[in-house]
Structure 1
Amino acid sequence: MMGIWELASLLLGLLALQYLKQLWSSRNYPPGPFQLPLVGGVWWVRKKFSQDIFIKLAKQYGNIFTIWLGSYPIVILSGYQAVKEGLIVRSEDFAARPVTPTLKALFKKRGIITSNGHIWKQQRRFGQVTLGKLGVGKKCTEHIVEEAAHQLVEIFTLAKGHPIDPILPISTKIFKVVCAVVFGHQSYFQEEEIEKILEESETGIKFAGTISHILYELFPRLMDRLPTPFRKMRAMVDKRILHLREEIARHKEYQMQNEPQDFTDFYLLQMEKSKNDPDSTYNEDNLVQCILDFLVAGTETSSTTLQWALLLMGVHPEIQDKVYKEMENVLGTSQSICYQDRKKMPYTNAVIHEIMRLKYVFPIGVARRSVKDVTMHGYTIPKGTFVVPDLTSVLLDPKQWETPRDFNPQHFLDKDGQFVAREEFLAFGAGPRVCLGEQLARMEIFLFFTHLLRSFRFYFPEGTDQINQDPLVGFLLHPEAYKICAVPR
């Protein structure tokens, strides 16, 4: 019988062989932080993680480098040229999503954001077509966004100039807009339920990148048997899915007597049309995941951007006043603001784009996966490799922006003060995986921002210490909690 020391020696020997094999297999990958046994190079990143950690690594290893998560290589593309080549020039080569233990356990390769292959193509195409039918980003959905913006103005009005935390009011109203697109009505969730959903979403976002998350990616079978935070999060997701299935059942009853009015109605109709098609991926499981994709991604990104917007307006009152002056000059005595007004307000449009550039809500970009062997800059990126476009490095690239670390609306204005659309502005991504909700997000941010700034002047409460503009680093980059005063104009 093998003694404990012989067993330990055997295990160490196997670990050493696996480590040497990993080092040998990584020789053709782009360089990166030193790899340790079992954990790879993620130890270094986790130890020094910050908003611009990948920008710092690019200065050391080049614009294409590799971070190892255990035995999994993750290739990072940094800077505008490298990201452009990956997302635009080679868009089809990096069109897939990674399938990690966490993503597989939570989302089961369904829906739009995390799916691949035939499922992804059908679901995304249907999403694009259906959002177009619903008029997302156009006049016919503008009244929904405008109504939510008016409701948000009412909440700030009730504060009567006293300090208010803007996070929950903004998130709630954005969530209701997404509900209107998905379910056809904003009142499906009660206020208490919305707060609970937003709290659950925040829990999931905070989980990303934690030690518990990394351990689950490395040792999923072991972690499944332990009472980890991941098990609690999966239970939350399962509970939310159950609630969504109940709403889908109500839609099925309603659909029998009415024309489709929302995304869920159109999807159920497509399920019925495709029920005899063996290639169809239209089913209730994918519908549930599509709804979750819209509710979570559609709420968190826009609401976080607007939180940054109010913070930056408080920090830069001179820019806030200039936006208000432009709105008054363009709109005059008109009380309404429409999305088309952005074309007549170049400075305001530039300020909004600069907010999204400087305070990009993701630490990097959403990961892709190579669908075939790819050679870039002399390095081989094998099929199946995780590829992460660092969009923050693009939006802060000193080769593309005059003052990349400063809040400077002139980045989006020409010498005549007219708005300039910049191809380096990749806040919504690019290629086949570009953000599906981009048009709705743009409309939400513009209308919420302009309604608020036309109604109020924002400033920080008296006695407020210096405002910390550094983000809280997680899956999304939120500002630190703050309160702000909204004084009616």
Structure 2
Amino acid sequence: MELLGAALLLLCITCLLSFASWRRRSGKGKMPPGPTPLPILGNLLQVKPKDLSKTLEKLSEKYGPVFTVHMGSDPVVVLHGHSAVREALIERADEFAVRGHMPIGDRANNGLGIIFSNNTEWVQARKFAVSTLRNFGMGKRSMEERILEEAEHLLDEINKTKGEAFDPTYILSCAVSNIICSIVFGKRYDYKDKNFLSLMGSMDIIFEKMNSIWGQLYQMFPNIMYYLPGPHNNMFDQFDALKAFVYEEMKLHQASLDPSSPQDFLDCYLCKMQEEKDNPSSSFHMKNLITTTFDLFLGGTETTSTTIRYGLLLLIKYPKIQEKVQEEIDQVVGRSRRPCLADRPQMPYTDAVVHEIQRFIKLIPLSVPHSVDKDTCFREYVIPKGTTIFPVLSSVLHDEKEFPNPDEFCPEHFLNKNGTFRKSEFFIPFSAGKRICPGEGLARMEIFLLIAAILQNYTLKAVINPQELSITPTLSGIGNIPPAFQLCALPR
């Protein structure tokens, strides 16, 4: 009985101390306001892991564009709306360029690579990756050529369906992954290759588990979830499998490397390692090679293929929009050749549809978390050093002043009244500022060219009544995952 009383007393004291700490941090001149957290649980009762962006949208209505929530015991500052997100990521880009705490990424990458790293290693890895991708090839095939080449293989796979219903998930993943494989590894893989399909499966599992309730709970309570058995731990086996694949490719490249003629990203990185072998503080070492390449491989596959898959779902949901895209392709390109990037300025409606797909699905609604490396004054508040920051990209992509009826799929959001393409600074699906996705240029090319090639050759039909198709994400955490669906591709 005395033990129970002591436990209750300890719990009460913990609650009071937690509440007092929260009160001290909140208010004008201090931490932004927010709902009162519970000990250990934080704001788990208010923040629903199943749909974080929607939850944060509701909280912003009460607490404003800058507020605090507690993910477990850790405070997170949320930036909601175009003004707050732009001020942090663009106007004050240097101050908010630090990668925030993300337990899954921290455990998987151990501070290396591009996505989850910080400080000098991040600066060097990102700069090298961006410059190598931008100048890639050194006289060899351009990125556009690689995409168009893979588009032919994708169309061949679609043709094999002979108009029967199929799930496009795996062939889109294979196509997009092959494009990044040609850049990173210097080769592509057959769509039936068992090892390649196993990698596609690993990436699907990672993306699904990260966005599941298990993944979200891991983000909130890593010190507890690390030791608990459950499906969340399986994703780390998949991370290891992908890195093992990269390691095997690296060994092959080491054996055949010709420093005078690097063939792909791996060769370029190995050459850079050779250049800096006598520099003990160099960020170019074997572990960083594996992790950086892994980041490009995973990041260059899953997000782009999911965007295209979600786009096809929207196009069979709204067949009239699909028809208008096909009419424009026929008028500008015809059927004798594939659509190319040079056609894009003459294809404003297709370009608008591609932009609207990315805006509407808000694939990474919260961005990957940011942070600050010192106590930072932001508006009337102070964000303590090391605090995780969520810039809510979905709040910008679905801004109702910029995009009337933001929850409707409407290509006119990106068209002027005269039918020309309309640019918008609210279009930030790849984030913004110092941490903008390094593969943005490649991804935008892929989405436009692959969707245009598919619609040039096929009319996509829903298996069920289009009005009955759900376009609501089945999971919405770090990313939005579209519902499973099948379609029929009828030759035109």
Three-state SS of the structure 2 residue aligned to 1:74 is strand
Hey, what's the Cα distance between the residues in 1 that align with 2:67 and 2:97? 19
Which residue of 318, 332, 344 maps to 2:334? 332
Q: Which moved more, 1:42-51 or 1:279-288?
A: 42-51
1:177-206 Cα distance to aligned partner (Å, 9 max, x none) = 111111011139963223222222222223
Alpha-carbon contact 2:147-2:449 (below 8 Å) kept = yes
Alpha-carbon contact 2:363-2:480 (below 8 Å) kept = yes
Hey, what's the Cα distance between the residues in 1 that align with 2:224 and 2:314? 45
1:383-438 Cα distance to aligned partner (Å, 9 max, x none) = 21111111111010012112312222122122221112211111111111111001
CA distance change for structure 1 residues 223 and 461 in 2, over 3 Å: closer, same or farther?
closer
Hey, what's the Cα distance between the residues in 2 that align with 1:189 and 1:408? 34
Shift of 1:283: 0.6
1:186 equivalent in alignment to 2:185: no
Q: Which residue of 2 aligns with 1:12?
A: 11
CA distance change for structure 1 residues 478 and 103 in 2, over 3 Å: closer, same or farther?
closer
Three-state SS of the structure 2 residue aligned to 1:454 is helix
Hey, what's the Cα distance between the residues in 2 that align with 1:424 and 1:311? 24
Q: Which residue of 1 aligns with 2:96?
A: 94
Alpha-carbon contact 2:57-2:395 (below 8 Å) kept = yes
CA distance change for structure 1 residues 151 and 47 in 2, over 3 Å: closer, same or farther?
closer
Three-state SS of the structure 1 residue aligned to 2:21 is helix
CA distance change for structure 1 residues 453 and 278 in 2, over 3 Å: closer, same or farther?
same
1:333-353 Cα distance to aligned partner (Å, 9 max, x none) = 532321221111111111111
Hey, what's the Cα distance between the residues in 1 that align with 2:154 and 2:103? 39
Three-state SS of the structure 1 residue aligned to 2:46 is helix
Q: Which residue of 1 aligns with 2:421?
A: 419
Hey, what's the Cα distance between the residues in 1 that align with 2:415 and 2:335? 26
Shift of 1:70: 2.5
In the superposition, the TM-score normalised over structure 2's length comes to 0.92
Shift of 1:45: 1.1
Alpha-carbon contact 2:317-2:466 (below 8 Å) kept = no
Three-state SS of the structure 2 residue aligned to 1:46 is coil
Q: Which residue of 2 aligns with 1:479?
A: 482
CA distance change for structure 1 residues 263 and 417 in 2, over 3 Å: closer, same or farther?
same
Three-state SS of the structure 2 residue aligned to 1:487 is strand
- Residue 481 of structure 1 aligns with an amino acid whose one-letter code is A
Hey, what's the Cα distance between the residues in 2 that align with 1:158 and 1:178? 24
- Residue 274 of structure 1 aligns with an amino acid whose one-letter code is E
Pairing of 1:130-209 with structure 2 (within 5 A): 130-134=132-136, 140-187=142-189, 191-208=193-210
Which residue of 376, 392, 395 maps to 1:393? 395
1:331-377 Cα distance to aligned partner (Å, 9 max, x none) = 23532321221111111111111111111212321110112222223
1:204-254 Cα distance to aligned partner (Å, 9 max, x none) = 223335554455456545544443434433233223322321211110011
Shift of 1:31: 1.9
Alpha-carbon contact 1:371-1:383 (below 8 Å) kept = yes
1:270 equivalent in alignment to 2:277: no
Three-state SS of the structure 2 residue aligned to 1:227 is coil
1:488 equivalent in alignment to 2:491: yes
Q: Which residue of 2 aligns with 1:71?
A: 73
1:29-62 Cα distance to aligned partner (Å, 9 max, x none) = 2222331111111332126736522222211211
Alpha-carbon contact 2:181-2:188 (below 8 Å) kept = yes
CA distance change for structure 1 residues 217 and 331 in 2, over 3 Å: closer, same or farther?
closer
Hey, what's the Cα distance between the residues in 2 that align with 1:52 and 1:218? 17
CA distance change for structure 1 residues 222 and 327 in 2, over 3 Å: closer, same or farther?
closer
- Residue 41 of structure 2 aligns with an amino acid whose one-letter code is V
In the superposition, the TM-score normalised over structure 1's length comes to 0.93
User: Alignment length, in residue pairs?
Assistant: 487
- Residue 488 of structure 2 aligns with an amino acid whose one-letter code is C
Hey, what's the Cα distance between the residues in 2 that align with 1:236 and 1:209? 15
CA distance change for structure 1 residues 65 and 305 in 2, over 3 Å: closer, same or farther?
same
CA distance change for structure 1 residues 213 and 402 in 2, over 3 Å: closer, same or farther?
closer
Q: Which residue of 2 aligns with 1:317?
A: 319
Three-state SS of the structure 1 residue aligned to 2:99 is coil
Hey, what's the Cα distance between the residues in 2 that align with 1:310 and 1:211? 26
Hey, what's the Cα distance between the residues in 2 that align with 1:250 and 1:25? 57
Hey, what's the Cα distance between the residues in 2 that align with 1:163 and 1:150? 20
Hey, what's the Cα distance between the residues in 1 that align with 2:114 and 2:152? 31
- The root-mean-square deviation of aligned C-alpha atoms, in Å, is 2.4
Q: Which residue of 1 aligns with 2:22?
A: 23
Q: Structure 2: 5+ residue runs without aligned partners?
A: none
